[in-house]
Amino acid sequence: MAPQWWECIFQIWFASEGKDDDFTYNGFLSSNLTRKGIAEITPDGLLRLTNDTQQEIGHAFYSIPLNWNNTSNGNVFSFSTTFVFAIHHEDPILSGHGIVFLIAPSEELPGALPSQYLGLFNTTNNGNSSNHVFGVELDTIENTEFGDINDNHVGIDINSLRSTLSSPAGYNSSEIGGFQNLSLKSGDAMQVWIEYDGVRKQLNVTLSPIDVPKPIIPLLSLPFDLSTVIKDPMYVRFSSSTGSMLTSHYVLGWSFKLNGEANALNLSSLPPLPHIGLSVWKRRALRIGLPIISVLLLIMTIFSVITYRKKKKFAEILEDWELQYGPHRFFYKDLFIATKGFREKELLGVGGFGMVYRGVLPTSKVEVAVKRISHESKQGMREFIAEIASIGRIQHPKLVRLQGYCRRKGELLLVYDFMPNSSLNKFLFDEPKILLIWNQRFRIIKDVAEGVLFLHEGWIQVVLHRDIKASNVLLDNELNAKLGDFGLARLYDHGSDPETTHMVGTFGYLAPELSRIGKATASTDVFAFGAFMLEVACGRRPIEGKVPPEKVLLVDWVQECERRGAILEAADPKLGEDYVVEEMVMVLKLGLLCSQPLPENRPSMRQVVQFLEGQAPFPYRSDGIGANVIAVEQEEGSYPTTDSESPFSRGGGR
């Protein structure tokens, strides 16, 4: 009798405990969900993770944490979940970010950022194995920082937004035959199945339109042991975030089961999606009703009269042609508040083209760097903003992201990602508080070289930076380098000639041919990069006044040391002898090679990267290369000759 009695008790206990591991929501009006950030449940029963608020995060999770591990064998239990979702972008062309189903160890995700981080991670913890986060992303942005395959994909994420496995969104149709593409941002409802077999350690992800039965062949199939990631207890949840685009992320229904197959959703009982043709403002107006709208309009009219003087202070003109660049435009008032009225205490630095302030955006609380510059050319304003908007779409790990701009009267403000360690020059010149060791300097040189190479060859257009120097190289918390300040950058199509004929930049970094033709090219960027390499290796600026006359011009001083066979005399004395001799010699000689007076004798940035990475033999010869560049700048039309057998005069690598 005793064994049967204990067996009954165990079955009753298991049934009472197991009910928390199995739920089905055909709509969320009576759901057991906890919501964070801007997530909400609409009156119709939709789970809406995001709204029209920019740079915000929305989370929703099952309120009871689950125990996933089978104590008898240490493996994670099998589980199954299915949900119906829809992503609606207000702009039919430009996309916002996607949605993620995930399993995470806590209610909060500390330090999570919006936009491309989808409310999961940040620049510091993305990719850390200590995250213990598993997710399936439905992403509508191609982010090169995370290696995304396109701007419409499904990916399996293990502790990182760099997907372990991903595929273009779609499904394998048995009726039509072959792979059928789906647009995640279409606003149409779609169903996802995520299944993990704890015995076979196999993970499957399947996607289809809501009116198509579950396909037999999964979209993604990954052999993986989740016991290395999942620990007890953990929450099942959804996460999404907004960037600069107006995007709404909806979940219509959700079913989940631990150690079994999730119940099928009753698709006919799911709440309806809002009418896609209506804007956010119109949908709200219809829900509230015309009488309430009339009252609000009256209040707004009174408020407008009272606050007229205050608003006039922040008045700005938005012309019709500028509307196409709207997603990259910030309001002056927001930047004024972010920088505390451009207070002197928030000043990060002063340059020849403007002042840079630290700011915290009032809505998202994200730190940014705001640069104020003057732009006197009214005729070129439209072209300037068009290029700023274009450059704002460039994303690369070695480039500081330009988030957007603000135009007010004769003033332009450029908004960048904030870099906590500011610019490189404060670590090199005068008496730096922190001395960069050689390994850090060499890594910084290679980081900036990769960034410039991407600008020249890695994007849909050629981007000329036109102001490469140490003060425009910014450092993050770990002293990793990113090239920033695109206020002078210009773009042109691959295979064509740049049209800019206005010489800009910083003296000491300007290629000599600029004084003749005034036209920037990829080769003039290479010249500036050569001066930058010498800065980093020698620990001084290209032109220094408080030194003996023979050392005033850095490139001449390094050239003279090289001619005497003592090039290491030019190395930064603050380093002592604590550097790799071969690397130091190569950087100094490569700096001279890039500083060639004749542009056809300079290497391309692709060749520079190959030399720095040791992927190509270094071709330097000591026969007059790198001669007095500043003298050539001052003597218009006079160029010293070099050996006709230069490896670059034949067009190698161009």
Banded pLDDT at 6 (limits 50, 70, 90): very low
In a domain, 271, yes or no: no
The CATH number covering residue 103 comes to: 2.60.120.200
Does residue 488 sit within a domain? yes
Residues 396 and 473 in one domain: no
Query: Between residues 151 and 505, which one has the greater pLDDT?
Result: 151
d(CA 140, CA 183): 9
Q: How far is Cα 588 from Cα 575, in angstroms, rounded to an integer? A: 15
Report the pLDDT value the prediction gives residue 352, as an integer from 0 to 100.
52
More confident residue, 18 or 214: 214
Let me know whether 408 and 496 are in one domain: no
Element of type H or E holding 135: strand 134-139
For the chain, state the CA radius of gyration: 29
Lookup: tokens for 433: 């508080």
User: Are residues 555 and 626 located together in one domain of the fold?
Assistant: yes
- At position 120, the amino acid (one-letter code) is L
Q: Which residues of 210-245 are buried (b: 16+ CB within 10 A; e: fewer)?
A: bebeebeebbbeeebebbebbeeebbbbbbbbbbbb
Q: Which residue has the higher pLDDT, 335 or 316?
A: 335
Q: Kindly state whether residue 571 falls inside one of the protein's structural domains.
A: yes
* CA neighbours closer than 13 Å in the CB half-sphere of residue 52: 8
The size of the chain, in residues, is 654
Residue at a domain's end among 382, 417, 452: 417
- Which pLDDT score is estimated for 74? 80
- C-alpha distance across the termini of the chain, in Å: 88
pLDDT at 360 over 80: yes
| 530 pLDDT tier (thresholds 50, 70, 90) | very high
User: Which tens digit of pLDDT belongs to each residue from 147-184?
Assistant: 999 999 999 999 999 999 999 999 988 777 789 999 99
Q: Which residues contact 443 (CB under 8 A, 6 or more apart)?
A: 480, 481
Pick 9 or 606 by higher pLDDT: 606
The whole-angstrom separation of Cα 150 and Cα 256 is: 29
pLDDT of 519 reads 84
The identity of residue 83, as a single letter, is F
Q: Establish if 95 belongs to a structural domain.
A: yes
Same domain, 44 and 190: yes
In a domain, 362, yes or no: yes
pLDDT tens digit sequence for 281-326: 454 455 556 678 778 888 888 887 777 665 655 556 666 556 655 5
Query: For the chain, how are helix, strand and coil distributed in percent, rounded to 5?
Result: 30, 25, 45
Measure the CA–CA gap between 151 and 395, rounded to whole angstroms.
13
Half-sphere exposure of 245 (CA within 13 A, CB side): 22
Distance CA 501, CA 519 (A): 5
Cis amide leading into 233 (omega within 30): yes
**Do 403 and 432 lie in a common domain?**
no
Mind telling me the catalytic residues? 467
Query: What's the total number of domains in the chain?
Result: 4
Question: Over the range 386-411, which residues count as b (16 or more CB within 10 Å of their CB) and which as e?
Answer: ebbbbbbebbbebbbbbbbbbbbeee
pLDDT per residue as tens digits for the range 376-404: 544 456 666 766 766 777 889 999 988 88
Residue 553 DSSP one-character state? B
- Structure tokens given for 443: 């890594």
543, amino acid identity: I
* Mean pLDDT of the region 204-215: 95
Mean pLDDT of 18-30: 84
pLDDT of residue 605: 96
The verdict on 361 and 502 lying in the same domain is no
Tokens of 28: 């969320």
User: The CATH number of the domain where 563 resides is what?
Assistant: 1.10.510.10
**Distance of alpha carbon 429 from alpha carbon 349, whole angstroms:** 15
> Of the given ranges (60-64, 405-409, 468-472), which has the lowest mean pLDDT?
405-409
Looking at 387, 417, 447, the residue that finishes a domain is 417
348 close to 422: Cβ distance less than 8 angstroms? yes
248 and 304 together in one domain:
no
- CATH code of 361's domain: 3.30.200.20
- Residue 365 backbone zone (phi > 0: left; psi -120 to 50: alpha; other: beta): left
Please check whether residue 642 lies inside any domain of the structure. Answer: no
- The half-sphere exposure of 326 on its side-chain side, counting CA atoms within 13 A, is 12
Statement to judge: residues 249 and 306 lie in one domain:
no
Average pLDDT, the chain: 82
Of the chain, the percentage scoring pLDDT greater than 90 comes to: 51
Per-residue pLDDT tens for 397-426?
A: 999 988 888 887 767 888 889 999 988 988
Q: Are residues 442 and 576 in the same domain?
A: yes
* Token representation of residue 572: 């930064």
Give this prediction's pTM: 0.49
Within this chain, do residues 184 and 79 fall inside the same structural domain, yes or no? yes
CA 578 to chain centre: 35
Q: Tell me: the pLDDT tens digits for 108-143?
A: 888 888 888 888 898 888 989 999 999 999 999 888
pLDDT at residue number 643: 38
Question: Are residues 162 and 228 both part of a single domain?
Answer: yes
Q: What pLDDT shows up at residue 299?
A: 87
Q: pLDDT (tens digit, 9 = 90+) per residue, 69-87?
A: 887 788 899 999 999 999 9
- Residue where a domain stops, chosen among 417, 442, 462: 417
Instruction: Say yes or no: 100 and 137 in one domain.
Output: yes
Percent pLDDT > 70 in the chain is: 79
625: containing domain: 424-634
- Domain membership of residue 28 (yes or no) is yes
Q: 274 in a domain, yes or no?
A: no
